[in-house]
Amino acid sequence: MAARGCDATSLSRIADEVGIRKASILYHFPNKEALRQAVLDDMLSRWNEVLPRLFLATTQDGVARFEAVMGELVDFFTADPDRARLLVREQMDRPRELREKVSQYVRPWMDVVSGYIKQGQGAGSIRADVDAEAYVIIVVNLALCSVASIAQASMLFDGEPDESIRRRCISELVRMARASLFSESENG
Amino acid sequence: MAARGCDATSLSRIADEVGIRKASILYHFPNKEALRQAVLDDMLSRWNEVLPRLFLATTQDGVARFEAVMGELVDFFTADPDRARLLVREQMDRPRELREKVSQYVRPWMDVVSGYIKQGQGAGSIRADVDAEAYVIIVVNLALCSVASIAQASMLFDGEPDESIRRRCISELVRMARASLFSESENG
DNA sequence: CCTACCGATCGGTAGG
DNA sequence: CCTACCGATCGGTAGG
């Protein structure tokens, strides 16, 4: 379901993968919509386990904190690219519902990050022209969409193995996020 | 079809919008697959009209050229966000086919852009740590995905009108692309 | 360009 | 958790 999207994956197909009959799925969930909600809630709620430990654990400077959060973001989606694909599809198919779920699960953490950015701007370590809230949205969306689709966009690299392409693109997106965030003195 | 994706849009629905019957569509196109190909070819071939004039028209410095190409990229997709949504869906549903079409229509222009980047790196105006090919892919993908979905990600901006949010996100992504590309001396 | 129809598949229900 | 079945809709064809 994650790979091809909720709407394009029939209950029969899901049942086959689980090894039961279609009607049996509708015994555990009242309908397909409820199953979709459960899958999304399960995926998004994992962020509430991952993110807190990043912020509460250590005292870090801005660059180290950037690397920790960015690494976690990239790892979360590269560990299972279907997560990214499902979220991208949901955002296009049912923007309102996903918006509500994001507000519920990850928005507090996005606010924490944009707070750090504004703090860094006050201290001069982060570029003054960064739009903190927009930056966070753009970077999350960039990681999401890159993992969801860019591994397949290998047409620009003749004959290069897919794994190598993926690594180059991920490295480049992290570099872009870093270089466009910090003041040049910190950026080195 | 562009808005909800090829697979999720039935021939009956398309027929209703055009004002004819479903069977009449299958008189003009041998099957649904052929219709999809025609829609994609039509959209991607427009790039072959837009891009050449950007590169051949004027002699520009690096920053001016960046602004021209980036502006065209953003304008192309914001003019009709359904273009971006269709491409994002196709990239997830049929990566191989889209890869071939992109190779056919827009790859030459992406090579031109990455050539300019390498040239700028030789002259010192562009950061040495930019991965030219990966940068182009990331930026195109970023524009695509941002337009396709970010306008709907307005949950971070309480009560702010959608149009204002869209502008902030587009401005921020252009700023990120610019700041992570040019050496600090050129960057202002 | 139409009406009429095809087999296949969809989400969901009845009943056990 | 199953078999059996429902109406709706899908892409596509026949025939005019």
pTM of the model: 0.92
* B158-186: pLDDT as tens digits: 677 778 888 999 999 999 999 999 998 76
**Which residues of A, range 100-139, sit inside 8 Å of B by Cβ?**
100, 102-103, 107, 110-111, 114, 127, 129-131, 133-138
Mean pLDDT over B131-160 rounds to 83
Q: Buried b / exposed e across A106-130, counting CB within 10 Å, b at 16+?
A: beebbebbbebbeebbeeebbbeeb
Residue to substitute from B9, B74, B150, interface A, most A β-carbons within 10 A: B150
* B84-133: pLDDT as tens digits: 999 999 999 999 899 889 888 888 889 999 999 999 999 999 999 999 99
Q: What is the pLDDT of residue B137?
A: 93
**Of A8, A171, A180, Cβ closest to residue B131:** A171
Asked whether the beta carbons of residue A176 and residue B135 sit closer than 8 angstroms, the reply is yes
Q: What is the pLDDT of residue B188?
A: 45
Token pair for B32: 């649904």
* B35-53: pLDDT as tens digits: 999 999 999 998 888 778 7
Quote the CA–CA distance of B34 and B37 in Å, as a whole number: 5
| Farthest CA pair distance, chain B | 62
Q: Are A60 and A68 in contact (CB under 8 A)?
A: yes
Tens-level pLDDT at each residue, chain A (188 residues):
888 999 999 999 999 999 999 999 999 999 999 999 999 999 999 888 877 877 776 667 889 999 999 999 999 899 989 999 999 999 999 998 998 898 888 888 899 999 999 999 999 999 999 999 999 999 999 999 999 987 665 555 667 777 888 899 999 999 999 999 999 876 54
Q: How confident is the model at residue B29 (pLDDT cuts 50, 70, 90)?
A: very high
Residue A141 touches chain B, beta carbons under 8 Å: yes
- Among all protein residues, pick the one whose CA is nearest to the C1' atom of C9: A10
Q: What is the pLDDT of residue B157?
A: 67
Quote the CA–CA distance of A61 and A142 in Å, as a whole number: 24
